[in-house]
Amino acid sequence: MTVPYFTAEEIRTAEAELFARVAEGVPMRRASWGLATEVAAELRRRTGGVTGRRVGVLAGSGDNGGDALWAGAFLRRRGVAVEAVLLKPERAHKAGLHALLQAGGRVVAELGPADLVLDGIVGISGKGSLRPDAARHVAAVTAPIVSVDLPSGVDPDTGSVDGPAVQAALTVTFGGYKRVHALAAHQCGRIGYVPIGLELPKSMVQSLTDREVGGAWPVPAAEDDKYTQGVVGISAGSDVYPGAAVLCVGGAVAAKSGMVRYAGTAREQVLARYPEVIATTAIEDAGRLQAWVAGPGFGTGKKESKALAALLAQDLPTVVDADGLTLAANNPSLVRGRKAPTLLTPHAGEFERLTGAAPKPDRLTATQQLASDWGVTVLLKGRATVIADPSGEVLIVEAGSSWAATAGSGDVLSGIVGALLASGIPPLTAAAMGAHAHARAALIAAGFPGAPASASTLMGAVRPAIGALRSAATPGVADATKRAGSRSLMAGSAP
């Protein structure tokens, strides 16, 4: 199932409804018990046990501080030494503080050595960076931090950070995922989820799972041939940047079976690397297609603008990337109002050229606004890639790393997405699936614990990435394949 993300206001509304239908204190007890359970598991993971370990608590004045204090009380009853700093003693959560003290926890002015520290400083109502006193206490922490609901100092709706903020190893959230958990996953660390009974509306902001991406990846059916699977055309590269064409074509070739056609000046370089591609130098000679990718390494002169206009005049779904975006920024009428689906794939600088404003601090709303204003689907690249269509629906792809931030990586991505578009997948979904596979490929290319990966090595990891995603969708097939492989190896080694 897709993972939905909610605004702070949507969560607060659902909480108010919950508080009206259950006994007072029940939601907090559910949350804090779940939090204590997650912290205990993290202690076992990091130290091998729970009893005898030490946990610090930084408790603010709101419900997150209460959750942290109650969790401290539950942990204390399991033999954990717990001490808490009350950042606003006069406004500390009374019931949570009483429970902690009754269980044998201590209130201190400064935290001592700890195995973990709970960040209960602010919750989803908090805005802006940490206040000076809180920032001082956080800066003094040397242990891994477990944030309650979200890392304090990080905006709950935009994930933006404009000053001191908590860098969590684990964030435990309650009732529903917040937008911050996707947009600022690098601040949140791992995400733990505790259900507390919230009834939430359908969210317009979601993420696809590995299983969904793998299950939707196009594979040839029994009746398919090279044409029926969708033929994608690539118009990329130039005398100055022939590598952009090679990378973009490589992404498309790796993404699916069928056919890739290329039109451009890098014909020889493309064929030297991919002899299976049908290559020409002119767009009008490309042949029958189901989608186009245009722009990587393309050039931004008058000739290129005319070529892009001719390509976009065709009634085909089109990915516009790189130099194509610069041409579109100079002449928005090239893409605005197209009847065929159009997908723009800017990074932050290209986004600013298109709109006149940087996408930060609210990347999600900015992406939605561009998609709505121009009537296109927009993929805003980043560690958290944000994809919006004109309806306002958003899919977020959290890459899990920034290894894809390398020259030429975006060319590979546009090729992958173009191939998916040619298969008939709608632009929003195609963009999210392509970005998902691209992020997985970057992780594979970087390896563990991780080393710099180039766009070429990332491109070489696209097929394994797709294979891993398809295995997540069809575990039985993956297991059978492994067994068959094992039998083959055993047969090969038999005397």
Which parts are annotated binding residues? 244, 297, 347, 381-385, 410-411
Cis before 341 (ω within 30): no
| Tokens found for residue 467 | 């294979």
Residues 468 and 461: beta-carbon distance below 8 Å: no
Report the binding-site residues for AMP. 381-385, 410
Which of 79, 36, 60, 181 minimizes the C-alpha distance to 123? Answer: 60
Instruction: For 295-383, list the strands marked E by DSSP.
Output: 318-320, 342-344, 377-380
Helix (H, G, I), strand (E, B) or coil at 291: strand
Closest Cα to residue 381, out of 424, 356, 344? 344
If we measure between CA atoms, which residue out of 10, 143, 159 comes closest to residue 83? 143
Sheet of strand 259-263, all strands in order from the earlier edge strand to the far edge: 3-4, 205-207, 394-398, 384-388, 377-380, 342-344, 318-320, 291-294, 231-235, 259-263, 278-280
Structural contact between residues 446 and 278, judged by C-beta atoms closer than 8 angstroms = no
Beta strands in 175-241 (DSSP E): 190-194, 205-207, 231-235
Please state whether the peptide bond connecting residue 27 to the residue before it is cis, i.e. omega within 30 degrees of 0: no
Residues making up the annotated binding site for (6S)-NADPHX are 244, 297, 347, 411
| 37: number of Cβ within 10 Å | 16
Per-residue DSSP letter, 89: G
Q: Which helix (H) or strand (E) holds 418?
A: helix 409-422
Q: Are 257 and 220 in contact (CB under 8 A)?
A: yes
State which H helix or E strand residue 330 sits in: helix 323-330
